[in-house]
Amino acid sequence: MAQSTQSSVAGQTSPKSPTSPGRSSIPSAMQAMPDSRQQSFEEIYGPPENFLEIEVRDPQTHGIGRSMYTDYEINCSTNIPAFKLRNSTVRRRYSDFEYFRDLLERESARVTIPPLPGKVFTNRFSDDVIEHRREGLERFLQIVVGHPLLQTGSKVLAGFVQGE
């Protein structure tokens, strides 16, 4: 009886020579899978069916004296049909966020809307305070846009982040 040049361990075969023609280094269990072709990066990690990405950035302070205010850039990328634009950029003040939150609460009474970051009365135009508020506003918007009912059914949300 001739001896085999392969050893078998738990259903796997491994050739003595890794470069033997006609031999596969893929375990036999994987070879039996219906579609064992290698998938591309795009197929494995492609864009999700629905996505909505939001970013609050680039705070800018305007005016002088008592008329000073800071606004923030909101960047939105989405493929959700409820949003008219795939990519949009708008600028909003803190008072715009307050108004938006009130409208959202009225429009979506069944959804708990998170609080905004608190108002600041001293040093409100310092870089640290502005950055802290920017982070809080971004967190607020990410929670809001992450809610499935608001993503697909809130005209107030779409209007706020897309400037309608």
pLDDT digits (tens, 9 = 90+) for 68-84: 999 999 999 999 888 89
Domain ranges of the chain: 52-162
- pLDDT given for residue 28 in this prediction: 54
Residue 119: HSE in the Cβ half-sphere, 13 Å Cα cutoff: 5
The predicted structure's pLDDT at residue 10: 44
C-alpha to C-alpha distance for 55 and 133, rounded to whole angstroms: 13
Q: What are phi and psi of 94, to 5 degrees?
A: -60, -40
Q: What is the pTM of this model?
A: 0.69
Quote the pLDDT of residue 13: 45
pLDDT, tens digit (0-9, with 9 covering 90-100), for 122-134: 888 889 999 999 9
Give pLDDT tens digits for 17-61.
Answer: 444 455 555 555 555 555 567 777 666 776 557 788 999 999 999
| Spatial separation of the C-alpha atoms in residues 120 and 125, rounded to whole Å | 9
Stronger pLDDT, 149 or 21, i.e. the higher one: 149
pLDDT over 60 (residue 89): yes
Q: Looking at residue 118, what is its pLDDT?
A: 87
The amino acid at 124: R
Q: What DSSP element (H or E) covers 73? A: strand 69-78
Average pLDDT score over residue span 6-22: 46
Q: Which CATH architecture has domain 52-162?
A: 2-Layer Sandwich (3.30)
Q: What is the mean pLDDT of residues 131-153?
A: 92
